[in-house]
């Protein structure tokens, strides 16, 4: 009922800096890495997202860097 909708508009308030901060705080905050190492991981991590349509079977794939601009 409240899932993803392909026709949703992009959240213009979610910036690359916000996405980077979310990734750092959720995934890398417990690791004993330097800031330089964390920034390297963030800048070079590719994410692959699959949105599954269980009814029609038309899955949507998206691949890109975490810090890449949204269009």
Model pLDDT for residues 20-65, shown as the tens digit of each residue: 888 888 888 888 999 999 889 888 888 888 888 888 878 888 888 8
Residue 24, classed as helix, strand or coil, is: helix
Burial of 28 (0-12, 13-18, 19+ CB in 10 A): middle
In a domain, 6, yes or no: no
In a domain, 51, yes or no: yes
The confidence score (pLDDT) of residue 8 equals 64
In a domain, 32, yes or no: yes
Q: Global pTM?
A: 0.56
Residue 42 structural domain:
16-65
In a domain, 10, yes or no: no
Nearest one of 71, 42, 47, 43 to 61, comparing CA atoms: 47
Q: How many domains does the chain have?
A: 1
């Amino acid at each position: 009922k409240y899932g993803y909708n392909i026709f949703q508009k992009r959240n213009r308030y979610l910036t690359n800096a916000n996405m980077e901060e979310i990734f750092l705080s959720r995934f890398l905050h417990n690791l004993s890495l330097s800031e330089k190492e964390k920034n390297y991981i963030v800048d070079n991590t590719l994410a692959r997202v699959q949105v599954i349509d269980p009814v029609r079977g038309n899955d949507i794939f998206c691949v890109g860097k975490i810090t890449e601009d949204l269009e």
